[in-house]
Amino acid sequence: MPCEIYEILQPHAIGSLEFLHLRQLFDRSFRAARIGVWECSLPEETLSWTDTVYEFFDLAPRSPLVRDEVIKLYTPETRMLLNDARDRAIRTGEGFVVDAHIVTAKGNDRWIRITACVEFSNGTAASIFGVKQDITAEKVVVEQLRRLADCDILTGLSSRSKFETVFEETCATQSHARQALLLVDLDGFKSVNDTLGHQAGDDCLRDASRRLSRALPQADMVARFGGDEFAIIHPCSSVENLVRIAARLVKGMNWAISTPTRNIRIAVSVGAAMIVPGQLPGDIFRKADHALYAAKSAGRNGFQIAQSSRPALDVARVAFRNEALSG
């Protein structure tokens, strides 16, 4: 809110009746827009608020204000942000805008956008003043949109965009906790869509998402990458460990969809690669993708580990055979 608006509403600039009318119009407009005016005189730290600001904080209008008590209604993170902005404004004379999170006197969560200007007298900051606007509804909408962007609406799993963000962060993090990437394709999904229709296909994807989460409950992330493709980031100490994880996944993702005329067998092909710190996310993804293609070429309903050593491949065969026999 430009500071010039305060200059407009000076009684010396216009007639007293017109000033009164404009002031009332100003107050009604600000109340309708959920905006209030505030001032803090310096160095006394004396606060002055319009009634709307009192409403924001769930305080009785015109009740005494003690800045130290008001500050306690801000969350710790907001308090630090606001103090830094305020100190900088007093030092430089530059205004600021801060989105502040408060817990009101009645315990309500609320977001307020604080716009501030600084008034100087004889080279010293004499007051900070401005407007506060209730932006709680705006924050709720933004958070809902963020959640929609992070979540695949059909399955409830993480979305592709969320996966890509987390995967890049995971590859960039130098951590002792090793992880692996597993790419999963549903075998038999096309038959479900072609034979039973898209509604049955959607049900199949939802069922697959639940089975993925049950098969690998320790996964850091399970995401729907698109269509019948899924991506998983999972803690993994070694290639041998990855073999066991992939085998468990293949075993847990094998079921049938029954119809009056036929049974459609659903299974998965899995390509997996260790996430090596320092390697580019695209390079790691390509390794897992090539392994997935190899699993499909080998007959599907199985897995391949990217760039595995011969002993690891032997472990893979034994682990997968044991998993199959135990099933």
Please report the pLDDT score of residue 322 as a whole number: 46
The structure tokens 């998983």 sit at 232
Residue 195 sits in the same domain as residue 256: yes
The predicted structure's pLDDT at residue 327: 47
For position 315, what pLDDT does the model report? Answer: 46
29 or 194: whose pLDDT is higher?
194
Q: Does residue 298 lie in a domain region?
A: yes
Q: Bigger pLDDT: 136 or 310?
A: 136
Confidence band of 165 (pLDDT split at 50, 70, 90):
very high
Neighbouring-strand partners of residue 295: none
- How many domains are contained in the chain? 2
The C-alpha atoms of residue 193 and residue 191 are separated, in whole angstroms, by: 5
pLDDT given at position 129: 94
86 pLDDT more than 60: yes
pLDDT in the model for residue 30: 64
Q: Which one is predicted more confidently, 309 or 139?
A: 139
Which of 23-37, 106-120, 271-285 shows the lowest per-residue confidence on average (mean pLDDT)? Answer: 23-37
Tokens of 244: 């066991």
Q: Does residue 136 share a domain with residue 163?
A: no
Distance from C-alpha of 271 to C-alpha of 182, rounded to nearest angstrom: 6
Higher pLDDT, 13 or 68: 68
Query: For residue 208, what is the domain's CATH number?
Result: 3.30.70.270
Reference 301, options 273, 262, 278, 267; nearest CA is 267
CA 160 to chain centroid? 13
Average pLDDT over residues 96-113: 96
- 41 versus 316: the higher-pLDDT residue is 41
Structure pTM?
0.59
Condensed to tens digits (0 to 9), the pLDDT of residues 120-136 reads 998 899 999 999 999 99
Of 115, 140, 165, which one is at a domain's C-terminal end? 140
Q: In Å, how far are 68, 71, 105, 134 from 79, measured between CA atoms?
A: 11, 7, 16, 17
Q: Where are the alpha helices (DSSP H) in the chain?
A: 4-8, 16-32, 51-56, 67-71, 76-92, 136-150, 160-172, 189-196, 198-215, 239-252, 281-297, 310-326
| pLDDT attached to residue 247 | 95
Q: Are residue 38 and residue 171 in the same domain, yes or no?
A: no
| Lowest mean pLDDT, pick from 173-177, 198-202, 225-229 | 173-177
Q: How far apart are alpha carbons 246 and 163 in whole angstroms?
A: 19
Examine the domain organization and report whether 222 and 277 are in the same domain: yes
| pLDDT tens digits, 249-260 | 999 999 999 877
109 and 179 both lie in a single domain: no
Q: Which two tokens stand for residue 36?
A: 């209030």
> Over 65-96, what HEC string results?
CCHHHHHCCECHHHHHHHHHHHHHHHHHCCCE
19, 158: one domain: no
- Spatial CB neighbours of 116, under 8 Å, sequence gap ≥ 6: 85, 86, 89, 95, 96, 97, 98, 128, 129, 130
What's phi and psi for 87, nearest 5 deg?
Answer: -60, -40
Own/partner pairs for 112-116, CB < 8 Å, 24+ apart? 112/56, 114/82, 115/1, 116/85, 116/86, 116/89
126: in domain: yes
Regarding whether 114 and 224 lie in a shared domain, the answer is: no
Q: Has residue 279 been placed in a domain?
A: yes
Distance CA 223, CA 160 (A): 6
Average pLDDT over residues 173-202: 89
Claim to verify: residue 115 and residue 160 sit in the same structural domain: no
Task: Tell me what pLDDT residue 7 has.
Answer: 47
Chain centroid, CA 74 distance in Å: 22
Residue 203, pLDDT > 80, answer: yes
| Domain boundary, last residue among 108, 140, 172 | 140
